[in-house]
Chains A and B, each alone.
Chain A
Amino acid sequence: MKNTNEMEIRFDSKSVNEGFARVAVASFMTQLNPTVEEVADVKTAVSEAVTNSIIHGYENEIHKVSIRCRIEDNVFTVEVCDKGRGIENIEEAMRPMFTTKPEQDRSGMGFAFMEAFMDTVEVESEPGKGTKVKMKKTVGKGREIWTTQSL
C-alpha cells in the first residue's frame, strides 16, 4: 500500500504570507527526509507561484490563495490556486523572460524557476476564473538530513 499524506492551507493574498507559505510547505515536506537542496528547490517554486497569485492573479487586492500538498511515497505534489484574473495564453506566460509587468521590475523568470527546480509543472487557468499551478518532485534520496538545518 502507498504511504500518503495531505495538507491544505488557505491564506490572504498579502505579501507577508509568502514567507509563511514557503515555511509551511517546507515543514510538511520534512517527513520525506529531503536534502537541503530539495527543500530549497520546493521553497523557491512555492514562492514563485504564490507571488504570481498575489501580483498577477489578484493584482494586489486581498483575496484567498490556497495551497494543497500531497505526499505519495517519495513523490511530493504541491498545488497553488487563486481565483484571480487568470492567464489568456499559458504557453506564452511560461516562456522564460515573458512578463506582463515589466514596469514593475518583473523579469519573467518565475515559471522558469518553477520548471528548473521541480520535475513537472502544469498550469490550468481560465481568464476571469483563476489559476492553478500543479508541481511535482520526487524527493528523499536522503544524503544530508535537512532537519538539522534551520527552516
Chain B
Amino acid sequence: MKYQVQEKCLTIYLPREVDHHNAEEMKREADAVIDRNHIKYVIFDFEKTDFMDSSGIGVIMGRYKTICLIGGEIWAVHANARIRKILTLSGAAKIMQIYDEEDKV
C-alpha cells in the first residue's frame, strides 16, 4: 500500500483496481498505520484508480468506523465519475467528504 502520514492525517494512494484481492492487505496495513500514528483524518486518493467494487467500500466503511470513534473524518480525492457513482450508490458518499475538482472523466 502506498501511503503518506502528515501529523494526524493519513493519505492512502489507492491502486488502479480496488477489489477483494488487494483490499485485504490494504486494510491490515491501514489499521496498523492508523493505530501507530494516532491518525484522525484519512484521505483516500483515487488518482490512479479506475476500478472499485464493494470490497473497496468495505475498506472505506471499516476505516470510518475506527476514525469516527475519535471524532475524525474521511475524505476522497481525485475520484473519477465511475468511482463517485460507486461511492454514491453504496451510501459511502454520505459519511465522507468528496473533494470535487474539475471533473476528469
Footprint of B on A, CB under 8 Å? Answer: 15-16, 18-19, 22, 37, 40, 43-44, 47-48, 51, 54-55, 104-107, 109-110, 112-113, 116
CA distance A26 to B19 in the complex (A): 16
CA distance A43 to B50 in the complex (A): 11
Considering the complex, give the chain A residue whose CB is closest to the CB of B23. Answer: A105
Are A40 and B20 closer than 8 Å at their CB atoms? no
Are B20 and A18 closer than 8 Å at their CB atoms? yes
CA distance A55 to B57 in the complex (A): 16
Task: A18-B20, A109-B89, A113-B53 are known; give 5 further A-B pairs, CB within 8 A.
Answer: A37-B82, A47-B53, A51-B53, A107-B57, A107-B90
Task: Select one of A43, A51, A54, A116 contacting B51, CB under 8 A.
Answer: A43
CA distance A109 to B92 in the complex (A): 11
Interface size on B, residues (CB 8 A): 19
CA distance A118 to B62 in the complex (A): 27
Give chain A residues whose Cβ lies under 8 Å from the Cβ of B84: none
Are A109 and B19 closer than 8 Å at their CB atoms? no
CA distance A82 to B38 in the complex (A): 42
Give chain B residues whose Cβ lies under 8 Å from the Cβ of A113: 53-54, 86, 89-90
